[in-house]
């Protein structure tokens, strides 16, 4: 198999690159391992939204009365 370069030039049975160091991995990573800051931002929004609900006042009063 040859490689055409330019005006009909051919390279046959030649080494193009001796060593290729790539950071490519065959293992699949989870979304939070690939994009940790996006995952943390989404998590903080979800927790912040949950803290807006009214029932937390009852829990805080119960904890303050218990202590």
Residue 62 sits in which domain range? 32-67
The position carrying tokens 């160091």 is: 21
The confidence score (pLDDT) of residue 60 equals 85
The confidence score (pLDDT) of residue 37 equals 93
DSSP-assigned letter for residue 54: T
Residue 47 lies in a domain: yes
Residue 62 lies in a domain: yes
Mean pLDDT in order along the chain per 10 residues (67 residues):
62 67 73 90 92 85 85
Q: Which alpha helices (DSSP H) does 1-67 contain, by range?
A: 31-34, 36-50, 55-66
At residue 9, φ and ψ (nearest 5 deg) are -75, 145
Residue 14 lies in a domain: no
* Rounded Cα–Cα distance for residues 37 and 31 (Å): 11
How many separate domains does the chain show?
1
pTM of the model: 0.46
The confidence score (pLDDT) of residue 46 equals 94
Residue 16 lies in a domain: no
At CA 63, angle to CA 61 and CA 65, rounded to 5?
65
Residue 10 lies in a domain: no
Residue 20 lies in a domain: no
């Amino acid at each position: 198999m040859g490689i055409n370069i330019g005006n009909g030039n051919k390279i046959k049975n030649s080494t193009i690159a001796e060593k290729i160091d790539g950071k490519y991995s065959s293992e699949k990573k989870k979304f939070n391992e690939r994009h940790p800051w996006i995952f943390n931002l989404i998590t903080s929004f979800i927790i912040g939204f949950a803290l807006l609900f009214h029932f937390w006042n009852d829990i805080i009063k119960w904890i303050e009365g218990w202590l």
